Amino acid sequence: MHPHSRTKTRALALSLLVIALNNFGNLILAYGMRQLPETVSANPLDYIRAMLHPFVALGIVLLVGWLLTRMALLSWADLSFVLPVTATGYVLNMALSQTFLHETVDARMWTGAILITAGAALAGSASTKASLPGRQEDGPR
């Protein structure tokens, strides 16, 4: 397999992981926050107590994983590749929130998420190369 296509395959696999960690991290975090007996106020102690809830803590861990994975992905691939690919997460996020959190997602919201995803894909379709680490293909970034 050509090194460039191997890098692109890795970038796509990492993109899927970024999407999954972001969406499931947000889903679990939102679920955990809804399990708290009170709403979180401006008091910093409320946030510390909230972070100790198991679902909130798991959501935070997944979102930290998302951040680290996204950083790795951005070291492998161009931003113009990463953003369009990960924009599919908007549609997945709406489906997860509707299915598991029983949120009302109307046709206007679905249309907006689909348009955002389609627009990002269209914008990114001109440049979808994954760059090799340590190699400056287009000059400084």
Q: Is the pTM of this model over 0.75?
A: yes
* CA–CA distance, 83 with 69 (Å, rounded to integer): 14
Q: Is 125 helix (H, G, I), strand (E, B) or coil?
A: coil
Residue 82 above 80 pLDDT?
yes
The candidate with the shortest Cα–Cα distance to 83, out of 15, 14, 4, is 15
Residue 141 above 50 pLDDT?
no
Residue range 35-76, pLDDT digits in tens: 998 888 888 899 999 999 999 999 999 999 999 999 999 998
Across 93-111, b (16+ Cβ under 10 Å) vs e yields bbebbeeeeeeeeeeeeee
- Find out whether 15 and 70 touch, Cβ atoms under 8 Å: no
Per domain, the residue ranges of the chain are 3-124
10 CB-near residues (< 8 Å, 6+ apart): 76, 130
Residue range 5-33, pLDDT digits in tens: 777 788 889 999 999 999 999 999 999 99
Residue 83 is predicted with a pLDDT of: 85
